[in-house]
Amino acid sequence: MSGFQAQEKHEAKGALHTLQTVLGDDFLQNCSTETPFVARHPMLRWLANDAASSRRSITRFADQLRILDGKERSNS
């Protein structure tokens, strides 16, 4: 995760864990096709993009899911 500070890396990893928990272990498999790099779900573009802005978008999205679920982000 180039372009990230240590705290942002930690937050992005937590965001991916949140997405896995909320959306399920098989989310990526279920929303992609058998053809590589062809995504049915627009979130896959965020996940496939190495740009820091995409990782930040994932983190913001996961934060919103946590708010909807009534949980706060763990800062530890």
Is residue 1 over pLDDT 60? Answer: no
Query: What is the pLDDT at residue 76?
Result: 45
Q: Does 9 or 32 have the greater pLDDT score?
A: 9
Q: Residue 46 falls within a domain, yes or no?
A: yes
Instruction: Supply the range of the domain harboring residue 21.
Output: 6-69
DSSP string, 7-68: HHHHHHHHHHHHHHHHH-TTHHHHHB-SSTT-BSSTHHHHHH--SHHHHHHHHHHHHHHHHH
Q: Position of tokens 């997405």?
A: 19
Q: Residue 74 falls within a domain, yes or no?
A: no
Q: Does 53 or 4 have the greater pLDDT score?
A: 53
Rounded to an integer, what is the distance from CA 17 to the centroid of its chain?
8
Q: What's the domain count of the chain?
A: 1
**CA 61, 16, 63, 70 torsion-angle sign:** positive
Is residue 57 over pLDDT 80? Answer: yes
- Asked if 18 and 66 touch (Cβ cutoff 8 Å), the reply is yes
